[in-house]
Chain A
Amino acid sequence: MRNAIETRGLSYRAGSFELRDVELSVPAGSIYGFLGPNGAGKTTTIRLLLGMARPAGGAIRLLGHEVPAELPAALARIGYVPERPHVYGALTVAEAMRYHGAFWPDWDGAWADSLRRRFDLPADRRVSRLSKGETGKLLILLALGQRPELLVLDEPTDGLDPMVRRDVLTAVLDYVAETGATVFISSHLVHELERICDWVGVIDHGRLVAELPIDAFKSGVKRIRLAGAPPEPSDAPFTVLSRFDDGLATGETWVVRGWQDPMRQYFTGAGATVRDVVDLDLEEVFVELLRSSRHAVR
C-alpha cells in the first residue's frame, strides 16, 4: 500500500465554508504535516477522512479501504486524537482505558498501562478532572494503545505547555520508530512540525495549496536582498513569490522559489546586485507560500 491516506477531488460545503478539490496523498510510513492557518479547513478535512461528515464529492481511501463503504475496517487500524477531548468525562482514566480497549482488536493493555505510568496519569482520577495537559496525554495514550498503523492527530499539542508537548511528541516518535506507522498531524504550529515531518501539505481557505517532501518545500525558497529595484525578469527560471521594499530605500527584498546561485546574472543584467541570499525556515516558507497563493487567487 503506497499511500496511507488518499483523496481525489474531495469537496465539501457547509454554510459559507467550502473545501474544493482536495487531493491528498499521504505516503505510508511517513510523518505528514498538514499545515494551515486557523479556519483553513484542517479539522473539516480530518472529519471527512474519518467518515464523520459527508463530502459533497470526491473519493477517500484510508489504508486501502474505501470510505465510507469500509469505514469500520479502516478505523480498526487508525488512532485518532481529535482537537477537543471526546472521551466520556465521568469515567476515570483506568475506566476510560478499559472502555476504549474493548473496541479495538489490537489493543495492548499492558503497554497502554506502561504509557499511563510514563505520562504520570493517575488511574483513578476522573477524566473531567484532568488538566488540559493530562487530557492531551490521555488522548495520545488511547490512540497509541490501539497499536494503529495510522495516527491521525488534529492539533494534538495545541494549548499544551512545552513539557507536555515534548512528552506527547516523544511518545509518538518512539512508536513510529518501533512500528513504522504513518502519522498525519495537523497543526498551525509550524515550528514544532519542522523537525519531525517528512512531508508537508498546506491548506488555505479550503484549497490544498502545496504538497511535497519537506526538504523540497524548504529548499529552493530563498529571500534575496537586492540593491536596486529591477523589474521581474520574464524569462527567469525562478518564481517570485513576493517582493517588498527594504525600508532602507536602497533596495528590495524578494522571496523567490526555485533559486539557484548562478541566477544572480539575471539581476546584474538589469543593473541590480544581489547583496544576500537567505534561507527561510519552514514557518517563513509557509507564510510566503500562503501570501503568494492568496495573491494569485485574487
Chain B
Amino acid sequence: MFQQMLLSGWRSSRWVLAPFAVAALGLPLLAMRTAGTAAREIYAPGQAVLMVMEVWAPLFPALAALLGIAVALAMWSWDHGGRHVYALSLPLPRWRYVLMKMGAGAALIGLPVGLFWIGSLMGVWSVDLPEGVRAYPLALGLRFLLATAIAYAAAFALAAGTKRTVTWLLIGLLVFVVGGSLIVDVIQPLLGVDGLPTPLDLLDAALIDWPGPFHVFGGNWMLVDV
C-alpha cells in the first residue's frame, strides 16, 4: 500500500518538486558564489561576506516554507479533486490513510532537502572564506530540514480537511489579522494609549517566539557567520 501511495504521491507532486529541487540546490550555491566575490575584497572582507549573507538568509526559510506547503497541497490535490470519495471508500481507517500519505510526502520532500544540503556543502567547499567568519552548512541544512518538516506538517494537516474547513480557517485568520489591526488602530487613540499588541504581534508571540511551533523560521539562517 505504501508503495502505491509513494508512486501516486510522486505522480501528483513531481511538477512541484522539480522547480523546488532546482531552487534548493541553486540557492545556497548562488549565495556562496556571491559570498566568494565579497571575500575577495581588500578592505574588511569578513564584513562584506556577512552583509551578503544577510541578504540571502531570509530566502532559505521562505524556500523551506514554500516547499513544505507546496508538497503538502500536491499530496492532497487528487483527493480534493474527487471530494475524497475514493479515499473514503478504501478499506482502511482514515488515520492510517492520512499517516501513510504523510509519510509518502515526507519521503518525497527528502529529495529537495537533500539537494539543499548538497548545494550548501558544494558552495562552501568552493569558496575560501576570509578570517573571522565560518560556514555552517550542516547547521543550516538541519534548520532547513526542520523548517520544511514543520511547514509540511502544518500545511498537510490543513489540506487534509475539506476545502470548506480550510477556507473558513483562512478567512478567520485574515479577519483576525486585518480586523484586529483595524480595531487596535481605532482603540489606541481612543484610550490614549500606545503600543497595544496587534494581531500580528500576538501571532508572532504565539507561533514564532520560543516555544512557538514556527520558532525555527525566525532563527539564524546565516550560512556564513562569525
Contacts and interface: CB of A to CB of B under 8 A. Distances in A.
Given A91-B11, A98-B4, A103-B1, A80 B81 contact: no
Contacts of A103: 1, 4, 90-92
Contacts of B90: 75, 103
A172 B166 CA distance: 40
A102 B3 contact: yes
B88 A50 contact: yes
Contact of A87 (B11, B86, B92): B86
Contacts, number: 54
Contacts of A52: 85, 88-89
B189 interface: no
Contact of A51 (B1, B8, B81, B88): B88
A86 B83 CA distance: 8
A89 B89 contact: no
Given A91-B11, A99-B4, A102-B1, A86 B93 contact: no
A104 interface: yes
Q: Main SS of the interface on chain B?
A: helix
Interface in B1-21: 1, 3-4, 7-8, 11-12
A50 B81 contact: no
B77 to A, nearest CB: 10
Contacts of B7: 95, 99
Interface string B84-108: 0110111111000000000000000
A86 B3 contact: no
Contact of A72 (B78, B86, B91): B91
A104 B1 CA distance: 9
A59 interface: no
Interface string A78-109: 00101011111111000100110011110000
Given A75-B91, A87-B86, A99-B4, 16 more contacts: A50-B88, A52-B89, A72-B91, A75-B89, A75-B90, A76-B91, A82-B85, A88-B78, A88-B81, A88-B86, A91-B11, A98-B4, A99-B8, A102-B4, A103-B1, A103-B91
A50 B93 CA distance: 13
B92 A72 contact: yes
Contacts of B93: 72
Contact of A86 (B11, B12, B82, B91): B82
Interface residues of B, number: 18
Interface string A99-129: 1001111000000000000000000000000
Nearest to A103: B90
A103 B12 CA distance: 19
B87 to A, nearest CB: 9
Given A72-B91, A75-B91, A86 B86 contact: yes
A51 B89 CA distance: 9
Interface in A240-297: none
Given A86-B82, A99-B8, A104 B91 contact: yes
12 contacts: A52-B89, A76-B91, A84-B85, A86-B86, A87-B82, A88-B82, A88-B86, A89-B78, A91-B11, A98-B4, A99-B8, A104-B91
Shortest Cβ-Cβ A-B pairs, 6 listed: A76-B91, A75-B91, A86-B85, A86-B86, A102-B4, A88-B78
Contacts of B11: 90-91
B89 A50 contact: yes
Interface string B114-141: 0000000000000000000000000000
Interface in A52-72: 52, 72
A50 B88 CA distance: 9
A87 B3 CA distance: 17
B88 A90 contact: no
A53 B97 CA distance: 18
